[in-house]
Amino acid sequence: MESNREELSLFVDKRVKCQGILVKLTNSRVAGTFRRTALMQEVSVETECGPVDMGHTWLQFAGALNDVPTLTTGDKITFTARVSPYPRRMEDGT
């Protein structure tokens, strides 16, 4: 399994099938509004080039997970997500 996030750059703006373990559901403030997000660990992404190991990822727009009454921390879930670029911040905040 690939462990390089750069592999996903070929799939920006495309939907991919993913699987991971739910760590927590939380709210994030984005552009003055709150959005439901989920932290996932041990995430793998199925691509045309084979599986890519993401390690962890934050799901944006995770409000649909609220509708699963039996979902708890530690559950392994399968989901589809749209790939978007992630500009990593440097230690100096830029």
Q: So where are the chain's domains? A: 5-82
**The residue type at 55:** G
In the predicted structure, residue 38 carries a pLDDT above the cut 70: yes
The whole-number pLDDT of residue 3 equals 46
The tokens 């509004």 sit on which residue? 33
Q: In this predicted model, what pLDDT tens digit does every residue of 46-94 receive, in sequence order?
A: 988 888 898 898 888 888 888 888 889 999 999 998 888 776 655 555 4
Q: Which residues contact residue 62 at a Cβ distance below 8 angstroms, ignoring those fewer than 6 apart?
A: 25, 36, 37, 38
Residue type, 22: L
DSSP 25-76: EEEEEETTEEEEEEEEEEEEEEETTEEEEEEEEEESS-GGGGG-TT--TT-E
